Amino acid sequence: MKRFLCQIIAVVFVIPSILAIFLYTEAAIGAEKAITLIAANWTPTKMPPPIDWEPFDFVFNEWMDTIEYQTKGKVKFKRYPAETLVKVTDYWEAVKGGICDVGIVCLPMFPGQFPMTAALRLPGLFDNSIQGSVVRQMLFEEGYLAPEWAGVKFLWIGISPYHFNSSQKFC
């Protein structure tokens, strides 16, 4: 079941993210020099069971591994797990300010800052997390949630409290 969940998450979130990275790096791929993006994550790289965000850490690392592989090493990530670059409560400002290129914003750490986005986490709104994630992404793409996230580029959004953001324009 856990493996199936990871596969579903990978299909729903990783593929759109890879496409966004390719759009961002299209011009740079032909260059000889590799691009290194700083990626910050607040979860440890290896979490013992039964910690429930272990699949999330897997997807985040799998996403970066896939981009590195697909670009033949021309896009690389310098990874900072377990709050080694910034504390979880500082991720929003770290991404906006360019301390890291890719970071994860955990909504519960920013009460009141993202009211419309956070409201979509209320129980009973969706039948499952995939449905909720698709609705959230659509609302963002239609511009309803974008004002709350000004200053960063969304790579993906999910019904969980985790969001990939970047200080760089990817498309």
Query: Could you read off the pLDDT of 114-156 as tens digits, one per residue?
Result: 899 888 888 788 887 778 888 888 998 899 998 998 888 877 7
Where would I find the H helices in the chain? 2-9, 15-29, 54-70, 91-96, 115-119, 129-141
pLDDT for 130 equals 79
Per the model's pLDDT, the better-predicted residue between 76 and 161 turns out to be: 76
Helix (H, G, I), strand (E, B) or coil at 100: coil
Greatest extent of the chain over all pairs of C-alpha atoms, in Å:
50
Measured CA to CA in angstroms, residue 151 lies from 47, 73, 93, 94, 148 at distances of 31, 28, 10, 11, 9
Q: Full-prediction pTM beyond 0.75? A: no
Q: What percentage of the chain exceeds 90 in pLDDT?
A: 25
How far, in Å, CA of 135 to CA of 83, rounded?
Answer: 30
Whether 106 and 88 have beta carbons less than 8 Å apart is answered as yes
Segment 39-56 shows an average pLDDT of 66
pLDDT for 170 equals 55
> Is residue 61 packed enough to be buried (19+ CB in 10 Å), middle (13-18) or exposed (0-12)?
middle
pLDDT for 80 equals 93
pLDDT for 161 equals 44
> Is residue 44 packed enough to be buried (19+ CB in 10 Å), middle (13-18) or exposed (0-12)?
middle
Measured CA to CA in angstroms, residue 97 lies from 18, 55, 90, 119, 126 at distances of 23, 28, 10, 26, 34
Whether 18 and 63 have beta carbons less than 8 Å apart is answered as yes
Per the model's pLDDT, the better-predicted residue between 117 and 25 turns out to be: 117
Per the model's pLDDT, the better-predicted residue between 112 and 158 turns out to be: 112
Residue ranges of domains in the chain, CATH in brackets: 2-163 (3.40.190.170)
Write the pLDDT tens digit of every residue in 76-113.
999 998 899 999 899 889 999 999 999 887 787 888 88
Q: What percentage of the chain exceeds 70 in pLDDT?
A: 65
